[in-house]
Copies of this chain bind each other. A is one copy, B any other.
Amino acid sequence: MSAKHRSGTRERAAVFAALGDETRLMLLAKLSRGQQCSIAELTEGTALTRQAVTKHLRVLERVRVVHGRRMGRENIFEFDPKPVNEMKEYLELVSRQWDSALSRLKAFVESDAN
């Protein structure tokens, strides 16, 4: 309800959208296991072209779930946990709101109101 929440809606949606693709979830899975991988390495597991994987990495990079740094001729990508943690916290908030809403409903039903 605070301004902090409403102002972040766009950014949160962007992070969720970035996670909303099977290929990107697989990239995320590999990188979150701690491996630092080049684009070519990340392409290996998939049925896609290197360029397609590159595009997916840019999407993840734009919302800072991942970042790459140039090492010689290769671009090494690494996981960045902050946005994922923020999304986890947001979902926890939603969950808590729901629980307290249920509690209120329960209290209402059990009150004189019925």
Size bracket of the A interface: 35 or more
Complex CA–CA separation, A13 to B13 (angstroms): 14
Residues on B with C-beta less than 8 A from A33 are: 97-98, 101
Which of A9, A16, A29, A104 has most chain B Cβ within 10 Å? Answer: A16
In the complex, are the beta carbons of A13 and B9 less than 8 A apart? Answer: no
Copies in the complex: 2
Known A-B contacts: A33-B97, A88-B91. Give 16 more (CB < 8 A): A5-B29, A9-B22, A12-B25, A13-B19, A13-B20, A13-B24, A16-B17, A16-B20, A16-B25, A19-B20, A32-B101, A34-B105, A35-B101, A85-B91, A85-B95, A88-B88
